Amino acid sequence: MTGAMEDFLWLGPIGEPGGYGAVARNYIRGLAEIGARVVPSYVGGAVPVLDERDGVLMASLPNEPRGHETAVVHVDPRSFDEL
């Protein structure tokens, strides 16, 4: 990938087993597979529930943002107060 949107900070319920979590992991996987640098930021109080494939993916991603990422806030709007 080239351009300004190569790096992402993905904020959301990434570790939750439900819909928002599954969708977040799939978007993150897709971005990572095309070469984007994605930093996951887990939102919500749930302990991550990941299958082996998702666990391997999350373990392969960077933990710290560089400060210039495009932020993706992927949460239920009722969760905005937590951010």
Short-list 28, 6, 2, CA closest to 15: 28
Short-list 5, 1, 8, CA closest to 40: 8
Short-list 13, 17, 7, 22, CA closest to 62: 7
Please tell me the pTM assigned to this model. 0.83
Q: Does the pLDDT value for residue 4 go beyond 90? A: no
Q: Does the pLDDT value for residue 3 go beyond 80? A: no
Q: What is the pLDDT at residue 18?
A: 84
d(CA 22, CA 4): 26
Q: Where are the domains of the chain?
A: 7-76
d(CA 38, CA 36): 6
**DSSP class of residue 69?**
P
Tell which wins on pLDDT, 81 or 12. Answer: 12
